[in-house]
Amino acid sequence: MRPILGLISMVTGTLYYGDIGELRKLFDLLRLKGYRVVGPKLRNNVIRLEELMSFDEMPYGYTDSQSPGRYRLVKSDGESFRVGPDSLKKYLYPPELVIFSVTKDWKIREPEFYYPKTAFFGIKPCDMASVLIMDRVQGAGGDPYYLRARENSIFIVENCLTPGETCFCGTMGTGPEVKEGFDISYTLIHEDNLVLFRCGSDTGLELLTSLDLEPAPSEIEIKYRRMMREAKERAQAPFTIDDVPDLLEHSLNDEIWKKVSEKCLGCANCNMVCPTCFCFDVIDEPELDGSSKRVRIWDGCHSYIYAEIAGANLRKDLWARYRHWVLHKFNYWQTQFGTLGCVGCGRCITWCPAGIDLRQVVYDVVKEVQKR
Amino acid sequence: MSFGYHKLIPAKGIVEEVIDEVPDVRTLIIRVEGEYKVPEPGQFNEVYVHGVGEAPISISDVYDDGRIAHTIRAAGSVTQRMIDVSPGEVLGIRGPYGKGWPIDRLQGKNILIVAGGIGLAPLRPVIREIEKNRAKYGKLTLLYGARNPRFLLYKYEFSRYESIPHTEFLVTVDKPDAAWDGCVGVVTILLHRTEISPENTVALVCGPEIMMRFTVKELNKLGFRDNQIFLSLERRMRCGVGLCGHCQMGPYFVCKHGPVFPYWLIKKYFWVDEI
């Protein structure tokens, strides 16, 4: 037996490097070991998360230009791509799931569980952070599909050297360098045609030992640290997070919520693309044989009926639903799960059809509170 | 292997009796098959109509033989179908869920119950408990208000409530009809029709949110401290187990942290519009 535990204290934290061929080797190794490999894939001019059959499907050579309400894919040698609309919840917490069906004479049928062992490849640090948040949300008694899918997943995370315009992981402390939860992290330095690897778990170490790598020499490591620092500076919101959660709570009765949500359409796009939004509804799908399927579907707090009760709508105004969303992410979440609910991935900014910039909203609301 | 969504899978509940209450409101008496924990006063079930949908309904009575009662108002397609069931039909039952009324903390205390409309339903198990173990509790003051005399719930039990020893029972309606010779006005006026001392008293309140707001204000004026007031909140509790997110009130999941809250815990959010 290999003394894996002894090795791990030596390698964790250590950077190893090799050329880009080693990354391809890692990809092939995962497929060889029977993993379904899921990663960024080009589809209809958008980078989605899908199963990848070959390393060549990774959208290298492309980048995306993202800004509030805007997403364009462009060719690029220098800048890498960032997250698209899909997050890992597409796989770990599917948008639609039949949880059971009940026949006319009340026999309950539960569907079979199907989730192959999966390697998420080339996902971003913000998405890794979102999984750690989801772990807390679901807890021990949480969604059974999530918990089992999670057990059968490993994470190969690509650090971001070129965060995009809507990214603010630097502010949220979730990136651009992955900190925990990953099995292997890597950083692609295109200009030098090299990849820096780091191991984050026993599984990761097992995989890394099959590659041909070397410890990164001091000059490479120092360059890496400089690039990471510069990347972090690019991924900032106009505020520091420190006292923002506490200050936001004092905004509950402020009129400013009506102003900052003026453009909101209530479409719930932000809920759907958010990697941590977990709300669901269960709906009935009646079948011809008289049975009924109970289907769990994603739901979002921006939808009109979200807080409707018998004879009343507790959040009938859009500004109130918008306020709830922001307060939940940046304040309530802390009470509920001991962490904030935002990872700074910027998806809600890019995919908002009205181009509402969450960073600006938080900044404006906090500024309003501080006036008092 | 199956997913194991046990929490979302209902047990079979056989409807044994259907009682007409007031317009659009019926009480269903249900026998739940299999294991089902005896509900505490103030808890609720998720009730499922096959092929139609599910809704959270408070438990309005628990019988010695284990059967439970749900008093349901038809307010939408699911609840309409629910009250249209006939005896012998099956409904899905999940529960009991949530934190109920603080029964342990009521012992030796005077109890003030303020109920509005169908808000009397989740409080009925408390009245039953006091009736059953009368010596354990102090004076019971029961104040009940409804829109009009036709909407007074459990009217057939009123004489029973009145006959509970050491009990005062007052009723009011917002809009009287010709036959009504009782008190007229919102339920808070009853607080001034009788001697109510906050001394050693706990207030349990359930009704529409606006009614609860006025009641809390009046209670504070009468000298009730925030920790003497308990409220049962209504939210869109879709899953009942704190997973689906719908019932949030500020940072609280009403389905698992409530539906009954000590007022001081939710005070900060209770007065915020559309929280």
One digit per residue, the tens of pLDDT, for chain A of length 372 reads: 233 333 433 335 789 999 999 999 999 999 999 999 999 999 999 999 999 999 999 999 999 999 999 999 999 887 899 999 999 999 999 999 999 999 999 999 998 888 999 999 999 999 999 999 999 999 888 899 999 999 999 999 999 999 999 999 999 999 999 999 999 999 999 888 899 999 999 999 999 999 999 999 999 999 999 999 999 999 999 999 999 999 999 999 999 999 999 999 999 999 999 999 999 999 999 999 999 999 999 999 999 999 999 888 999 999 999 999 999 999 999 999 999 999 999 999 999 999 999 999 999 999 999 998
Residue B169's SS3 state is strand
Q: How many domains does chain A have?
A: 2
- Domain assignment present for residue A284? The answer is yes
Q: Which of B2, B51, B239 sits opposite A112 (nearest CB)?
A: B2
Same domain, A301 and A229: no
- Domain assignment present for residue B1? The answer is no
Q: Cα(B217)–Cα(B220) distance, rounded to whole angstroms?
A: 5
- Domain assignment present for residue B242? The answer is yes
Which residue from A minimizes the CA distance to B242? A142
- Domain assignment present for residue A239? The answer is no
How high is the pLDDT of residue A54? 98
In chain A, residues with a C-beta closer than 8 Å to the C-beta of B5 are 99-100, 110, 144-145
Same domain, A253 and A330: yes
The label of the residue with tokens 């509940």 reads B13
How high is the pLDDT of residue B4? 75
Same domain, A223 and A84: yes
Comparing C-alpha atoms, which of A176, A156, A186 is closest to residue A37? Answer: A156
How high is the pLDDT of residue A5? 39
Same domain, A286 and A198: no
Comparing C-alpha atoms, which of A200, A202, A197, A31 is closest to residue A132? Answer: A200
DSSP assignment string, B229-255: EEEE-----SSSSS-S-TTEETTEEHH
Q: How many domains does chain B have?
A: 2
**Torsion sign across C-alpha atoms A42, A43, A45, A46:** negative
Comparing C-alpha atoms, which of A176, A271, A281, A277 is closest to residue A231? Answer: A176
Q: Any idea what the CATH number is for the domain that residue B70 is in?
A: 2.40.30.10
Same domain, B107 and B92: no
Same domain, A230 and A305: no
Same domain, A52 and A184: yes
CB contact (8 A) between residue B269 and residue A281: no
A49: how many CB neighbours lie within 10 A of its CB?
A: 24
Same domain, A17 and A140: yes
Q: Which domain holds residue A321?
A: 244-371
How many helical (H) and strand (E) elements, i.e. helices and strands, does chain A have? 15, 16
Structure tokens at A92: 């770990």
In chain A, residues with a C-beta closer than 8 Å to the C-beta of B94 are none
Q: Which domain holds residue B34?
A: 6-97
> Cβ(A15)–Cβ(A214) under 8 Å?
no
pLDDT in tens, B181-226: 999 999 999 999 999 999 999 999 999 999 999 999 999 999 999 9
Which residue from B minimizes the CA distance to A280? B244
Q: Which of A111, A310, A335 sits opposite B79 (nearest CB)?
A: A310
Q: Cα(A53)–Cα(A355) distance, rounded to whole angstroms?
A: 35
- A193 Ramachandran zone, left/alpha/beta (phi>0; psi -120 to 50): left
Domain end (from A234, A269, A293)? A234
Q: Report helix, strand and coil shares of chain A as percent, to nearest 5.
A: 35, 25, 40
Residue A318's SS3 state is helix
A252 CB near a chain B CB, below 8 Å?
yes
A292 CB near a chain B CB, below 8 Å?
yes
Which residue from A minimizes the CA distance to B247? A307
- Domain assignment present for residue A224? The answer is yes
Same domain, B151 and B177: yes
Same domain, B166 and B262: yes
Same domain, B19 and B53: yes
Comparing C-alpha atoms, which of A192, A195, A163 is closest to residue A177? Answer: A163
Report the Cα–Cα distance between both ends of chain B, in Å, rounded: 41
How many CB pairs below 8 A link A and B? 112
Q: Cα(A126)–Cα(A163) distance, rounded to whole angstroms?
A: 11
Same domain, B156 and B218: yes
Q: Provide the ipTM.
A: 0.93
Give A54→chain B minimum CA distance, Å: 30
Domain end (from B81, B97, B113)? B97
Domain end (from A190, A207, A234)? A234
Give A244→chain B minimum CA distance, Å: 16
Same domain, A32 and A114: yes
Give A336→chain B minimum CA distance, Å: 6
| Cβ-based neighbours of A93, under 8 Å, separated by 6 or more | A134, A143, A145, A146, A149, A278
The label of the residue with tokens 């020499």 reads A217
> Cβ(A264)–Cβ(A119) under 8 Å?
no
List chain B residues with pLDDT less than 70. Answer: 1-3
A115 CB near a chain B CB, below 8 Å?
no
> Cβ(A149)–Cβ(A155) under 8 Å?
no
Q: Report helix, strand and coil shares of chain B as percent, to nearest 5.
A: 30, 35, 40
In chain A, residues with a C-beta closer than 8 Å to the C-beta of B50 are 102, 104, 106, 292
Angle formed by the axes of helices B263-270 and B209-221, to 10°? 120
Same domain, B214 and B180: yes
Report which DSSP code applies to A181: S
How high is the pLDDT of residue A217? 94
Residue A145's SS3 state is helix
Q: Cα(B73)–Cα(A95) distance, rounded to whole angstroms?
A: 32
Same domain, A159 and A297: no
Same domain, A33 and A65: yes
Same domain, A332 and A210: no
Same domain, A191 and A329: no
In chain A, residues with a C-beta closer than 8 Å to the C-beta of B208 are 312
> Cβ(B137)–Cβ(B106) under 8 Å?
yes
